[in-house]
Amino acid sequence: MIEITAAHIAELTQGTLTPGTDPDLLIDVAAIVTDSRDAVAGSVYVAKAGEAADGHNFITAAFASGAVLALAERETADDAGAPFPAVIVADSVLAMGSIAAEVVREIRAHSPLSVIGITGSAGKTTTKDLLAGILSALGPTVAPVGSYNGEVGVPLTVFRADENTRYLIIEMGATKMGQIKYLGEMVRPDLGVVLGVGSAHAGEFGSIDNIAVAKGELVEALSATGCALLNFDDSRVRAMAARSGAPVRFFSSADANVAQEQQMVLARTVRTNADGQPEFGLIFPGHSEPLHVSSKLLGLHHVTNLLAAASAAYAAGATPETIVASLNEQRAASRYRMERTDRSDGVTVINDAYNANPESMRAALRTLAELGGSGARRTWAVLGEMLELGEESVLEHDAVGRVAVRLNISRLLVVGQGARAMHVGAVMEGSWGDESMFFADADAAAAVLEAELAPGDIVLFKSSNGAGLRFLGDRIALPTGISPTQARENTTGERTAQP
Cα–Cα distance measured from residue 217 to residue 177, given in angstroms and rounded to the nearest whole number: 9
Is residue 483 predicted with pLDDT exceeding 60?
no
Confidence of residue 443 (pLDDT cuts 50, 70, 90): very high
- What's the start-to-end Cα distance of the chain, in Å? 25
- Read off the amino acid at residue 362: R
Whether 472 contacts 485, CB under 8 Å: no
Average pLDDT score over the chain: 91
Bridge partner residues of 114 (DSSP)? 167
Confidence of residue 478 (pLDDT cuts 50, 70, 90): confident
Rounded percentage of the chain residues whose pLDDT exceeds 70? 93
What pTM value is reported for the model?
A: 0.86
| Residue 117: closest CA among 158, 178, 152 | 158
Q: Check residue 340 and give its pLDDT.
A: 93
Whether 101 contacts 154, CB under 8 Å: no
Bridge partner residues of 414 (DSSP)? 383, 438
336: left (phi over 0), alpha (psi -120 to 50) or beta: left
Q: Check residue 332 and give its pLDDT.
A: 86
Cα–Cα distance measured from residue 323 to residue 312, given in angstroms and rounded to the nearest whole number: 10
Average pLDDT over residues 467-473: 93
Residue 10, judged by CB atoms within 10 A of its CB (0-12, 13-18, 19+), counts as buried
Q: What is the pLDDT of residues 78-133, one digit of tens each?
A: 999 999 999 999 999 999 999 999 999 999 998 899 999 999 988 999 999 999 99
Query: CB neighbours of 51 closer than 8 A, spacing ≥ 6?
Result: none
Q: What is the pLDDT of residues 185-221, one digit of tens each?
A: 999 999 999 999 976 656 567 788 899 999 999 999 9
Query: CB neighbours of 152 closer than 8 A, spacing ≥ 6?
Result: 34, 48, 93, 96
Cα–Cα distance measured from residue 361 to residue 396, given in angstroms and rounded to the nearest whole number: 10
Q: What is the pLDDT of residues 335-374, one digit of tens each?
A: 898 999 999 999 999 999 988 999 999 999 999 999 998 7
Is residue 488 predicted with pLDDT exceeding 60?
no
Q: What is the pLDDT of residues 231-277, one digit of tens each?
A: 999 999 999 999 999 999 999 998 655 544 467 999 999 999 989 99
Whether 200 contacts 121, CB under 8 Å: yes
Average pLDDT over residues 68-77: 96
| Residue 75: closest CA among 19, 156, 138 | 19
Helices within 216-285 (DSSP H only): 217-220, 235-238
Confidence of residue 396 (pLDDT cuts 50, 70, 90): very high
Confidence of residue 481 (pLDDT cuts 50, 70, 90): very low
**Complete domains list, the chain, with CATH:** 3-92 (3.40.1390.10), 111-329 (3.40.1190.10), 339-490 (3.90.190.20)
- SS3 call for 335: coil
Distances (CA, A) of 178 to 99, 221, 387: 19, 11, 21
Cα–Cα distance measured from residue 249 to residue 56, given in angstroms and rounded to the nearest whole number: 46
Bridge partner residues of 382 (DSSP)? 413, 461
Q: Is the dihedral of CA 158, 163, 165, 169 positive or negative?
A: positive
| Residue 348: closest CA among 338, 335, 337, 363 | 338
Distance of CA 39 to the CA centre of its chain: 25
Helix (H) or strand (E) holding 128: helix 124-135
Q: What angle do CA 168, 170, 172 make, to 5 degrees?
A: 170
In order, the DSSP letters of 57-77 are GGHHHHHHTT--EEEESS--B
Lowest model confidence (mean pLDDT) among 139-148, 205-214, 306-315, 441-450: 205-214
Confidence of residue 77 (pLDDT cuts 50, 70, 90): very high
Q: Check residue 479 and give its pLDDT.
A: 56
| Residue 151: closest CA among 121, 126, 178 | 178
Backbone dihedral angles phi then psi of residue 298, each to the nearest 5 degrees? -115, 115
Distances (CA, A) of 260 to 123, 266, 284, 478: 25, 9, 9, 48
486: left (phi over 0), alpha (psi -120 to 50) or beta: alpha
